[in-house]
Amino acid sequence: MFLITGATGSLGRRIVRQLREQGQPVRAFVRLLSRYSELEDRGAEIFIGDLRQDKDIAKACQGVEYIIVAHGSDNEAQALDYRANIELIEAAKANGVKHFVYISVLGVDRGYEDAPVFKAKREVEKYLIASGLNYTILRPSGFANNLLPLAERFRDTGIYLLIGDPKNRSSIVSTDDLAKIAIASVRVEGAKNQIFAVGGPEILTRETIPRLFGKIFNQEPIIINTPLLVLDGLRAGIGLINPQFQRSLGTFRTLLANEFFCTSSEIATLESVYNIKLETLESFIRRYLGGTQEIF
Ligand SMILES: NC(=O)c1ccc[n+]([C@@H]2O[C@H](COP(=O)([O-])OP(=O)(O)OC[C@H]3O[C@@H](n4cnc5c(N)ncnc54)[C@H](OP(=O)(O)O)[C@@H]3O)[C@@H](O)[C@H]2O)c1
């Protein structure tokens, strides 16, 4: 039995779908108010709970062999990115879980002080490594599905809003590939007790993304480039009203202000360990929006 947290999220949903396609038993940890009927229809066992509740975590982990942690946190890094994951690790130990797959983030080890999610994930990584569990830590770059709404807006308007430095590089990962890698981590020998940077096969500057959309939808992009200073001004204003939200925006700012890409040797390692050919961003967008390949 696999336990998947964040099973209704963009990554978690894909993990559950792929596991069910393989006929694997899955327990999907979901909240009562989230949209989980698709997962139920696919044959996943639905566990209703809240990751802020230790009792729910202890119960969800009973009888599972593998855990894949794929939940997010909105603005609650302390409760969800840190505390819930520590509880999941402890519950995994108590239940003799065979392998624990943790979705971290690329750049987690760079010591960003202003980014609560990065700090929490770094501490969880250290805790997991010291736990004695078999683990795989995946540090992905930005997910390709984040770009789908932007691509749809571009298709309708030709407009692309680019915040920050257009020359910043990233290696956007196909969310479907990441799901595949997360699942394979429990059986691939070379993934045991390892940390992998996970990105797409190419390094893209931010400004190449609207150009790629232009190529896919056959129209000239109108790029509106907003400097980071605008976000900083907004954030300072928000801080006067809601200091907690201002702090959580630190993670967003860190993502916009820095480069998150995998080196070619990191990509080669990933492709060789997992025996996978990573999908390009163009292929991902065409598959979902271009109508040339199957749409999930
Ligand atoms: N997105 C990216 O570009 C990116 C890049 C690098 C790393 N990551 C990491 O990858 C992981 C997955 O990201 P994602 O984009 O797939 O996340 P997402 O789409 O935002 O989904 C978050 C999931 O967490 C669940 N969740 C939130 N609070 C919960 C709670 N209190 N109890 C139970 N479930 C709760 C949500 O449930 P509901 O449906 O009920 O809201 C949802 O299923 C995260 O750890 C994220 O930090 C993401």
Residue-wise burial string across 95-120, b where 16 or more C-beta atoms lie within 10 A, e elsewhere: bebebbbbbbbbbbeeebeebbbbbb
Question: What phi, psi does 103 have (nearest 5°)?
Answer: -90, 110
Residue type, 85: N
- How many Å apart are CA 242 and CA 223, to the nearest integer? 31
Distance (Å) from CA 240 to ligand 1 centroid: 28
pLDDT given for residue 294 in this prediction:
41
Task: Enumerate the domain spans of the chain.
Answer: 2-143+173-200+261-279
Give the residue-averaged pLDDT of 23-29: 98
pLDDT (0 to 100) of residue 280: 97
β-strand pairing of 204-205 with 169-170: antiparallel
Distance CA 100, CA 136 (A): 6
Residue range 2-143+173-200+261-279, CATH number: 3.40.50.720
The predicted structure's pLDDT at residue 242: 85
Rounded to the nearest angstrom, the distance between the alpha carbon of 231 and the centre of ligand 1 is 23
**Which tens digits make up the pLDDT trace of 203-260?**
999 999 999 999 999 999 999 998 888 888 888 888 888 887 887 788 888 888 899 9
Q: Is 52 in the pocket of ligand 1 (CB under 6 A)?
A: yes
Ligand 1 pocket check for 80: Cβ under 6 Å: yes
Looking at residue 105, its pLDDT comes to: 97
Ligand 1: centre distance to CA 80 (Å): 10
> Residue 91's pLDDT is what?
98
CA–CA separation, 217 vs 162, rounded Å?
18
How far does residue 252's CA lie from ligand 1's centre (Å)? Answer: 14
52: its two tokens = 């802020």
Q: Does the predicted model carry a pTM greater than 0.75?
A: yes
- Helices and strands, number each (H, E), in the chain: 12, 11
The least confident of 38-47, 142-151, 240-249, 282-291 is 240-249
